[in-house]
Amino acid sequence: MITVRKPSPWASLALAAALAATTFIATPTQAADPNQGAGKWCQGVRIRFFVGGDPGDAFASIVYKGAQQAEADLGPKVEYVFSGWQTEKMLAQLRDAIAAKPDGIAMMGHAGDDAIMPLAEQASKAGITMMYQNVDVPKVRAKFGGGYVGANLYPQGRALGEEAIRTLGLKKGDTALVFGAWGQPGRFIREQGTTDALIEAGMKVITVAGQPAAATDPGLLIPQITGAFGKNPEIKLIVYSGGQTLGAVPTYMKAICSVENLTGWRCS
């Protein structure tokens, strides 16, 4: 029997990221201006805010709504950037954002330290404050400043693996399938934590690199999932990376159950 364990909900994290990313820019003089309302101390500040995905997707829509609420509460002027979770697109949009010279940029860290580093340097020289969310870029922040709002990914991943073992009664020799952005620097920190916990417990772990486009179209993962189970019908745990794919789990499980060479399963 296959059991699917969800990662922790991200709604509150996304809202926190939006709030923090849109409030870090105001200077003490702006905050102390008695002519501004108590809740509008960020008025007049211009921000480029990276939402990450597309307007209608499950994760990005939460981030977007949180940022819009922060904009309404605090008074900045925010331009929203949608990237479809495509890292190259994010980088191109970051170049455009720096060229526009806003007061601050709330940037997703998906592209990783190496790719973002030269752009963060440009932003620093231009006097643009940077904030990072969802995926941390610790090397960039150490060199050019900026904060990070999001989960401490590696410990979170380890905790997920350890809790899955405890709750689901998994044991040495059992097989797990872990989806993640394997091969993309900085993008599989959480999944690595989960994998390490499972391996240390003696489990066999199969890692599958999900297509970046699947963040927008989860159906693209179906061939990868059914292919993995066709080769390894003994899999007892699936670990998804989160976001849109979690909402597609029922579809994935139906697809798995339709694979003819899988036996010994209880599918309903």
The residue among 145 and 266 whose pLDDT is bigger is: 145
Beta-bridged to residue 79, according to DSSP, are 48
Task: Report strand pairing: 235-239 vs 3-4.
Answer: parallel
- Check pLDDT > 50 for residue 22: no
By the 8 A CB rule, do 123 and 132 touch?
Answer: no
pTM, full prediction: 0.76
Residues 144, 148, 153, CA angle at the centre, nearest 5°?
125
Per-residue pLDDT of 94-150, as tens digits, reads: 999 999 999 999 999 999 999 999 999 999 999 999 999 999 999 999 999 999 999
- Give the per-residue pLDDT at 186: 77
Give dist(CA 199, CA 219) in Å, integer.
Answer: 29
Share of the chain above pLDDT 70, in %: 82
Reference 70, options 95, 97, 45, 102; nearest CA is 45
> Worst-scoring range by mean pLDDT, 30-34, 89-93, 125-129, 157-161?
30-34
Query: Stretch 40-59: mean pLDDT, rounded?
Result: 91
The confidence band for 30, taking pLDDT boundaries of 50, 70 and 90, is very low
- Check pLDDT > 50 for residue 35: no
- Give the per-residue pLDDT at 5: 34
Common-topology check for domains 11-149 and 153-257: yes
Encode the chain in three state secondary structure: CCEECCCCCCHHHHHHHHHHHHHCCCCHHHHHCCCCCCCCCCCCCEEEEECCCCCCCHHHHHHHHHHHHHHHHHCCEEEEECCCCCHHHHHHHHHHHHHHCCCEEEEECCCCHHHHHHHHHHHHHCCCEEEEECCCCHHHHHHHCCEEECCCHHHHHHHHHHHHHHHHCCCCCCEEEEEECCCCCCCCHHHHHHHHHHHHCCCEEEEEECCHHHHCCHHHHHHHHHHHHHHCCCEEEEECCCCHHHHCHHHHHHHHHCCCCCCCCCCC
Share of the chain above pLDDT 90, in %: 53
> Worst-scoring range by mean pLDDT, 10-19, 67-76, 247-256?
10-19
By the 8 A CB rule, do 49 and 94 touch?
Answer: no
Residue 63 CB neighbour total at 10 angstroms: 28
Reference 198, options 231, 179, 172; nearest CA is 172
Q: Is 9 left (phi over 0), alpha (psi -120 to 50) or beta?
A: beta
CATH number of 153-257: 3.40.50.2300
Domain assignments of the chain as residue spans, ordered by start: 11-149, 153-257
- Give the per-residue pLDDT at 10: 31
Give dist(CA 215, CA 165) in Å, integer.
Answer: 27
Per-residue pLDDT of 168-184, as tens digits, reads: 999 999 999 998 888 88
* Greatest Cα pair distance in the chain: 71
- Greatest mean pLDDT among 16-20, 109-113, 253-257 lies in 109-113
Mean pLDDT of the chain: 83
Q: Which fold has domain 11-149?
A: Rossmann fold (3.40.50)
- Greatest mean pLDDT among 14-18, 59-63, 155-159, 227-231 lies in 155-159
By the 8 A CB rule, do 123 and 130 touch?
Answer: yes
